[in-house]
């Protein structure tokens, strides 16, 4: 799919599809399979380009976080980076809003219990 045709909704739909293929909770995908997941999503959308690529968030953060090794899908459109992962299928322009960063210091149980049903 060419970049001119790629939309956030396509990335969101592919993330939902990929989450089913990985047969894990999105939290667990982000805590052990993030690299494979991000690469899979990008590959399924036609492969890496200068507009769509997997990236390690520690390379993008202004403020370093300990243990921030996490790979996400980055979509660069109209001068803005939008970041996606298994827990953030709709994307965010603010890395601090990715659940992996926003939930720092919380246990798996606390994160999963805090989700809206």
* Structural domain boundaries in the chain: 8-113
Determine the pLDDT at residue 67.
64
Determine the pLDDT at residue 24.
79
Task: Count CA within 13 A, CB hemisphere, residue 61.
Answer: 18
How far apart CA 41 and CA 19 sit, in angstroms, is 10
Kindly give the interhelix angle for 34-44 and 8-22, rounded to the nearest 10 degrees: 130
Please tell me the pTM assigned to this model: 0.85
The segments of the chain whose pLDDT lies below 70 read 1-5, 61-68, 115-117
């Amino acid at each position: 799919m060419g970049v001119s045709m790629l939309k956030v909704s396509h990335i969101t739909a592919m993330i939902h599809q990929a989450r089913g293929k990985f047969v894990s909770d999105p939290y667990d995908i982000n805590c052990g399979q993030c690299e494979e997941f991000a690469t899979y999503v990008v590959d399924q959308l036609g492969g890496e380009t200068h507009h769509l690529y997997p990236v390690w968030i520690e390379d993008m953060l202004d403020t370093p976080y300990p243990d921030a090794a996490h790979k996400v899908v980055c979509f660069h459109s109209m001068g803005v980076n939008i970041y996606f992962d298994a827990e953030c299928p709709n994307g965010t322009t603010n890395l601090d809003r990715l659940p992996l960063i926003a939930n720092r210091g919380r246990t798996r149980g606390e994160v999963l219990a805090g989700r809206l049903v």
